[in-house]
Amino acid sequence: MGSRLWKSVALGASVAAALAMAPAAFAKEWKTVVIGMEGGYDPWNLTDSSGKIVGFEVDLANDLCKRAGVECKIIAQDWDGMIPGLKAGKFDVIMDGMSITEERQKEIDFSKPYAAPPAAFMAAKDSDVAKALGAGKVVNAAKDPKAGAAAVKAIQAALKGKTIGVQSSTTHANFANKYLKDVATIKEYKTTDDRDLDLKAGRIDVGLDDYPTIASTLDKPDAKDFTIVGPEFIGDVFGVGEGMGLRKSDADLTAKFNKAIAAAFADGSIKKYSLKWFKIDTTP
Amino acid sequence: MDGAFVGTTFWRLMAALPLTLEVWFLSVVLGGLIAAGVVWMRVGGSKPLEILARAYVALFRGTPLLIQLFIVYYGLASLPAVRHSLFWPILREPFNCGVLALGLCTAGYQAEIFRGALLAVPHGAVEAARACGMSRLLLFRRIVFPIALRAGLPAYSTEMISMVKATALVSLITLWDVMSVALKIRNDTLVTYLPLILAGAIYFTVNYILGAAFLSLERRLSPHLRPRPS
């Protein structure tokens, strides 16, 4: 009897000890962090001629990882499976110009935003839309709702009966579906490249995307007949900006990167990358 | 995941089924017509036409349908000559491009199925019909076509079923078929399995019905193979 009691006490103690040790043994050390991006969302991230992924988010990722003291590995992942891929553990962080929205926050956590560029429309220079809307002016719907509403009205009038192209399941698609559903035909594409091809082919009249992506499309020689038209939008469905997407269970990693982002803002590094890749300052 | 979400997802997918079936039906009919022409060239006896027909089959069976679809949709549209031609109003529409690409592809397979079916017609039967003095048309209608139809049906039904599945590719050229609606729901709600499983179940049901219909047709056309009633 005595020895039995002794045994169970010893067992209980060892179980308790094991449980106490468990968090230390199982908490991830975060030596390497895998980052998923599309590799085709120029200039956020793009694949260069040698097959390497480069771009604003690559420079930023390398910087932030150094500050957070982790080694980073970048892998390519289609926009379509971005959040499911993160949740399935194929990578630990999403960096793909992903806007922080309430809908997404139900599924994953976000770091503090590292960029907040406006959304912009592009159309052929000699098109009706370009004539009706004129060149772009920045409208901040978050700070000035009245100007935002007026800009939406102008866009609705100019796009009556036109076809607009957006990448599927983006804030730009949300904007089109919220404001332009009844006046225009909305076409949703898997990639922005496909959308740009159809714009050049004349299957769609306007493209809506974030300003840096549009600017980079327009930078290419075969896009010389196209230009940015109408208001450049901040706020409303476009949210507070773009941030890193992380699993809800990895709060420690989110905190690490938030600290790194704050430091990179403070010493002007993020602004430097923004000017290098976007040609404009997109810091939020 | 609640029942209401399953219901709305299912009905959103079902709302896209007519487009999937339309693309399927029009492309297999178009493919059938092209295939008839290709087979006629293939067995007609003219050497240059035969080579052309062989080349067609080799090309469309030998390359991925996805490449054919992208060449028709994005490739042709990138040529100014095509954009300024009188075909542009047709090729501008993704629906037409989808039907055309799928039709061209299935024509390659259907042509081979038709050819195999023609080869299955016994030489003796044709000879006997000729001996009876049948004209070419009558010979085709009474002898060749009925026998070839029975012989080609199993392979043809397989091709019809694989074409239902091939329509899922048109989701890549901005058409709202069952597949692209499933992908959209998956991306918007971030629920991965349910929309894909429901879409799979819809394709499965369509194909099951299609397969059963072809089986019953086969049975109707083969009374001579059924066991004698005792």
Interchain CB distance below 8 Å, A201 and B183: no
Interchain CB distance below 8 Å, A104 and B188: no
Least confident of A218-227, B90-99, B153-162, B171-180: A218-227
Instruction: Establish if B165 touches chain A: CB-CB under 8 angstroms.
Output: no
pLDDT exceeds cutoff 60 at A25: no
Minimum CA–CA partner of A196 in chain B: B74
* DSSP characters over B35-53: HHHHHHHHHSS-HHHHHHH
Is ipTM strictly over 0.85? Answer: no
pLDDT exceeds cutoff 60 at B211: yes
Interchain CB distance below 8 Å, A169 and B78: no
Interchain CB distance below 8 Å, B94 and A203: yes
Q: What residue ranges do the domains of chain B occupy? A: 3-219
Interchain CB distance below 8 Å, A169 and B192: no
Confidence of residue B181 (pLDDT cuts 50, 70, 90): very high
Interchain CB distance below 8 Å, B94 and A103: no
Q: How far, in Å, are A40, A168, B117, B196, B207 from residue B183 at the CA level?
A: 19, 9, 39, 8, 20
Contacts of A83 in chain B (CB under 8 A): 190
Interchain CB distance below 8 Å, B190 and A201: no
How many CA atoms lie less than 13 Å away from B177 in the CB half-sphere? 26
- State which fold the A32-116+242-278 domain adopts: D-Maltodextrin-Binding Protein; domain 2 (3.40.190)
Residue B97: is it exposed, middle or buried by C-beta count within 10 angstroms (0-12/13-18/19+)?
buried
Q: For B187, which of A169, A187, A201 is closest by C-beta distance?
A: A169
Nearest to residue B143, comparing CAs of B163, B170, B120? B120
d(CA B226, CA B30): 34
Residues A95-121: tens digit of each pLDDT: 999 989 888 898 899 999 999 888 999
Interchain CB distance below 8 Å, B74 and A197: yes
Q: For B172, which of A107, A169, A190 is closest by C-beta distance?
A: A190
For residue A109, give how far its alpha carbon lies from the nearest alpha carbon of chain B (Å).
14
Interchain CB distance below 8 Å, B190 and A203: no
Confidence of residue A23 (pLDDT cuts 50, 70, 90): very low
Contacts of A198 in chain B (CB under 8 A): 74, 77, 174
Interchain CB distance below 8 Å, A103 and B188: yes
Q: For B184, which of A83, A168, A201 is closest by C-beta distance?
A: A168
Contacts of B184 in chain A (CB under 8 A): 168-169, 188
Rounded average pLDDT over A75-98: 91
Those residues with Cβ within 8 angstroms of residue A171's Cβ, 6 or more apart along the chain or in another chain: A99, A101, A119, A237, A238, A239
Rounded average pLDDT over A86-91: 92
Query: By 3-state DSSP, what share of chain B in percent is helix, strand and coil, each rounded to 5?
Result: 85, 0, 15
| Residue range A119-238 in CATH 3.90.1150.10 | no
For residue B206, give how far its alpha carbon lies from the nearest alpha carbon of chain A (Å).
26
Confidence of residue B167 (pLDDT cuts 50, 70, 90): very high
Residues B52-82: tens digit of each pLDDT: 999 999 999 999 999 999 999 999 988 888 8
d(CA B135, CA B129): 9
Q: Quick one: pLDDT at residue A22?
A: 47
- State which fold the B3-219 domain adopts: MetI-like fold (1.10.3720)
Residues B86-134: tens digit of each pLDDT: 889 899 999 999 999 999 999 999 999 999 999 999 999 999 999 999 9
Domain with CATH 3.40.190.10 in chain A: 32-116+242-278, 119-238
From chain B residues 81-100, the ones with a CB under 8 A of any chain A CB are 83, 92, 94
Contacts of B187 in chain A (CB under 8 A): 80, 168-169
Chosen from A198, A205, A220 to mutate, greatest number of chain B CBs within 10 A: A198
Chosen from A82, A203, A248 to mutate, greatest number of chain B CBs within 10 A: A203
Minimum CA–CA partner of B75 in chain A: A197
Interchain CB distance below 8 Å, A197 and B183: no
Residues A158-204: tens digit of each pLDDT: 999 999 999 988 899 999 999 999 999 999 998 898 999 999 999 99
Interface of A with B (CB under 8 A): 80, 83-84, 87, 103-104, 106-107, 168-169, 187-190, 194, 197-198, 200-203
Instruction: Establish if B188 touches chain A: CB-CB under 8 angstroms.
Output: yes
Output Rg (C-alpha) for chain A, integer angstroms.
23
Output Rg (C-alpha) for chain B, integer angstroms.
21
Residues B15-47: tens digit of each pLDDT: 999 999 999 999 999 999 999 999 999 998 899
Q: At what angle do helices A171-179 and A145-158 cross, to 10 degrees?
A: 70
Is this model's pTM higher than 0.80 or not?
A: no
Instruction: Return the beta strands (E) in A95-241 as ranges.
Output: 109-110, 119-124, 138-140, 163-167, 185-189, 206-210, 226-234
